[in-house]
């Protein structure tokens, strides 16, 4: 998966986040933080060694999956996009 494809997925998550006004504050804040960390890792070349270990995208995969499960009922589109992002990050080795 190319960095461009990952960035497109991130943009889709941002879009879905913007239209999901009913998303609770804590979940929204966590998702925004995770997205920022992933973007930072991509900006550092997308390698785990380029960023601090706690800031790598791979470190956030379990949290992204947990958020996808939490959003499944109320925000199925966002949940689906988060799962796609987790899979894309895994395929890219990030």
What's the mean pLDDT in 72-93?
84
* Residue range(s) defining the domain that contains residue 14: 3-92
| Count of domains for the chain | 1
**HSE (CB half, 13 Å, CA atoms) of 53?**
0
Task: For residues 83 and 78, give the distance between their C-alpha atoms in angstroms, rounded to a whole number.
Answer: 9
Task: Check residue 57 and give its pLDDT.
Answer: 54
How far apart (Å, rounded) are the C-alpha atoms in residues 86 and 76? 15
pLDDT tens by residue, 22-59: 677 888 888 888 888 888 877 765 444 444 444 455 67
Mean pLDDT for all residues in the chain: 76
At 18, list the tokens.
């913007």
pLDDT of residue 47: 46
């Amino acid at each position: 998966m190319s960095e461009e494809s990952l960035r497109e997925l991130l943009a889709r998550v941002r879009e879905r986040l913007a239209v999901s006004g009913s998303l609770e504050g804590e979940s929204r804040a966590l998702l925004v933080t995770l997205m920022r960390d992933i973007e930072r890792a991509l900006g550092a070349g997308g390698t785990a060694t380029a960023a601090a270990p706690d800031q790598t995208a791979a470190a956030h995969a379990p949290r992204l999956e947990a958020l996808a499960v939490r959003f499944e009922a109320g925000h199925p589109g966002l949940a689906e996009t988060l799962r796609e992002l987790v899979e894309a990050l895994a395929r890219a080795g990030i």
